[in-house]
Amino acid sequence: MPESPLSQLLATTDFAWRRPATAQGALTNIQWRADRCDAGSILFFQRFEDGKTDMEIYARYLARCPCAVLVTNRMLQCFDRMPAQGIYVARPNDWAEVIRRFCDLCYPLRPDLTFVGVTGTNGKTTTVKYLESILTAQGKRVLSIGTLGVFRNGERLVETGFTSPPLIELRRLLRDQQDACDLVVMEASSHALDQGRVHGIPFSNAAWTNFTQDHLDYHHNEAAYFNAKAGILDLIQAGGRLYCASPAVVERLSQQGMTKAPIELIAPAEVSAEAIAAKPFLALEHNRSNYALASVLASQLLDRSPASFWRHLEPVDGRFECRVFGSRTIVVDFAHTPDALETILTAIRAGFPQARVLTLFGCGGDRDRTKRALMGEAVARHSDQVIVTSDNPRTEAPEAIIADILPGVPEPIREVVVERPAAIARLFDLLAERPAAEPWIALIAGKGHERYIDQGGRKIDYSDQDEVARNAERLGWT
């Protein structure tokens, strides 16, 4: 019987170490999750530095996996417990390229499919959704991939649970959808760039929104985080360029010699009073920066002037999502880093100079602890009152996370309400206590589009938007 194409590719790929199976059936598919494997699967298992031992990893993921072949990015101390499987270890720095070769075999891409990527600490989702709105309005068939899920022409197809799905999952999605789209616009997170999740994706152009402290629990230091994001330059094809909204990022890329593609600084868009009246989110400078990036990317794809692109923009779920009750405006936003809170609160102060500001926020558990007090400081600088609450505590105690935040928030302006639904009820009660004509902006930050709270190893159904609606009804606000 002739070898299957997967078997042939496995045999001809240069691995650092291999132990072929003594007897093996036909190889029929590739997987990145052990629980999706069958007897014909090649499992590509990427081992991270996560504090777990190899034996813990084996017991959790590999002990009951029925795969025929295991491919890993490094040697593991459990290979002797898998005598039936063929085992292959990729060479250092070759992991993503190995997966790409297998994806090219199983999930080939149309050569005429156009890709655009967006990276940055904040603003990736908004920029991608603005670009999607513009292109769809111009008759293009657009697939977008990011934090909010996978969309085709603005309609959600699936939520992947990732900003940037793992490469095998991404290529499977692209294979399934590529005949129904002309363009793919996608977020490229630092994790994805570092782990090779977007390796080999040919970006015609790309954008970088900004860069501030985040994800140091994973990257360990700011330089590694920056270098991970700079990996987007490797994916830009000949003739393309990186459009960047941050002068500091442009300067740093130049100083470090990271100029594998031309880099162009893009200023915030200048928009008319008519545009702001129709699209209030454009009153915020960071949204004008996101719009400017989306506009220049769209103009390259459409070969036309971006003058009236703003007419096609739609609000983005959980990004400066507003409800107005007389003199009181409630804003739900995903801001969850020091810079994001600084940016949105500065914009609120500038856009609503007569209003007082009440901010509700928390910090996620099992993430960079150093940013918690910094988030508190950013909120305190721009708020008249602050409610500190829970966000996604994950495996940490919410009270311990809040204790890390409090040094950044002066006691006279703060309240602590641990449970988030109760905190939002308290926010409404505080607003109700004020004179009806007194203008207030209440920012509910951190969850945005997320419809869950991640606590104790499970995701519990929850929505800031639902809590806002429930409390507005409770108080009879319309």
Indicate which CATH number applies to the domain containing 384.
3.90.190.20
Task: Among 77, 105, 133, give the residue marking a domain's end.
Answer: 105
304 lies in the same domain as 329: no
- In angstroms, the CA 13 to CA 318 distance is 45
298 lies in the same domain as 183: yes
119 lies in the same domain as 101: no
Task: Among 292, 312, 332, give the residue marking a domain's end.
Answer: 312
The answer to whether 76 touches 54, Cβ cutoff 8 Å, is yes
Task: Among 51, 70, 105, give the residue marking a domain's end.
Answer: 105
307 lies in the same domain as 390: no
> What is the CATH classification number for the domain harbouring 205?
3.40.1190.10
What percentage of the chain's residues is helix, strand, coil (to nearest 5)?
Answer: 40, 20, 40
Sorted by sequence, the CB contacts under 8 Å of residue 66 that are 6+ apart come out as 37, 38, 39, 41
306 lies in the same domain as 187: yes
Q: Which domain holds residue 38?
A: 5-105
Over residues 405-456, the pLDDT tens digits come to 999 999 999 999 999 999 999 999 999 999 999 999 999 999 999 999 999 9
Q: What is the pLDDT of residue 219?
A: 52
80 lies in the same domain as 158: no
Report residues of the chain scoring pLDDT below 70: 1-2, 213-220
12 lies in the same domain as 41: yes
Token code pair at residue 293: 């990036």
> What is the CATH classification number for the domain harbouring 30?
3.40.1390.10
Q: What is the pLDDT of residue 457?
A: 87
297 lies in the same domain as 163: yes
Beta strand 203-208 pairing with 263-265: unpaired
236 lies in the same domain as 382: no
Q: What letter would DSSP give residue 286?
A: H
Element (H, E) at 173: helix 167-177
Q: What is the pLDDT of residue 51?
A: 80
Token code pair at residue 32: 């990145």
pTM (2 d.p.):
0.83
Residue 350: how many CB atoms within 10 A of its CB? 11
Q: What is the pLDDT of residue 322?
A: 87
Q: What is the pLDDT of residue 24?
A: 75
143 lies in the same domain as 193: yes
Number of domains the chain contains: 3
Q: What is the pLDDT of residue 1?
A: 45
121 lies in the same domain as 269: yes
291 lies in the same domain as 379: no
